[in-house]
Amino acid sequence: MSIAKKLVGQTAAYGLSSIVGRALNYLLVPIYTDVFLPEEYGVVSYLYAFVGFFNILYTYGMETAFFRYANKPGADRDKLYNEVLSLIICSSAIFTGILLLASGAIVDYKGYPEEYQSYINWLALILAIDAIVAIPFAKLRLQNKPIKFASIKLINILLTVGGNILFLVVFRHIYHGEYLQELRPLVEPLYDPDFGVGYIFLINLVANALLIPMLWKEFASLRFELNKEQLRPMLLYAYPLLFMGLAGMVNEVIDRILLEEWLPESFYPNKTNMAVVGIYSACYKLSIFMTLAIQAFRYAAEPFFFSQAEEKDSPQSFALIMKWFVIACAFIFLFISANLEDFALLLRSPEYREGIMVVPVLLLANLFLGVYYNLSVWFKLTDKTRFGTYISFAGAAITIIFNLLLIPVLGYMGSAIATFICYFSMATASYLLGNRHYPIPYPTKTIISYILLATGLVWLALGVDIENFWLRHAYHLAVCAAFLVIVWLRERPRLLLKA
Per-residue pLDDT tens over the stretch 299-331 = 666 666 666 556 666 778 788 888 989 999 999
Look at phi and psi of residue 196 and say left if phi exceeds 0, alpha if psi is from -120 to 50, else beta. left
Residue 4 pLDDT: 54
Is 461 exposed, middle or buried, given 0-12, 13-18 or 19+ CB atoms closer than 10 A?
Answer: buried
Higher model confidence: residue 240 or residue 431? 431
User: CB under 8 Å to 102, separation ≥6 — which residues?
Assistant: none
Query: pLDDT (tens digit, 9 = 90+) per residue, 347-378?
Result: 888 889 888 999 999 999 999 999 998 888 88
Q: Which of 157, 24, 201 is nearest to 149 (CA)?
A: 157
Cα distances (angstroms) measured from residue 274 to each of 6, 198, 251, 265: 45, 17, 20, 10
| Spatial distance between the Cα atoms of 368 and 395, rounded to a whole number of angstroms | 12
pLDDT, tens digit (0-9, with 9 covering 90-100), for 57-104: 999 889 888 888 887 777 788 888 999 999 999 999 999 999 999 999
pLDDT band at 111 (very low <50, low <70, confident <90, very high): confident
pLDDT given for residue 1 in this prediction: 47
Max CA distance (Å), the chain? 71
For 285-353, give the DSSP string: GGGHHHHHHHHHHHHHHHHHHHHHTTSTTHHHHHHHHHHHHHHHHHHHHHHHHHTHHHHGGGS-STTGG
Distance (Å, rounded) from C-alpha 207 to C-alpha 25? 13
Region of 138 please: left (phi>0), alpha (psi -120 to 50) or beta: alpha
Instruction: Specify the pLDDT at position 114.
Output: 83
* From 20-29, 146-155, 229-238, 435-444, the region with the lowest mean pLDDT: 20-29
Distance CA 202, CA 381 (A): 40
- Reported as a single tens digit per residue, the pLDDT across 240-293 is 778 878 887 888 889 999 998 899 988 888 888 889 999 999 999 888 778 877
| Measured distance CA(366)–CA(296) in Å, rounded | 14
pTM surpassing 0.85?
A: no
At 499, the pLDDT band (50, 70, 90 cuts) reads very low
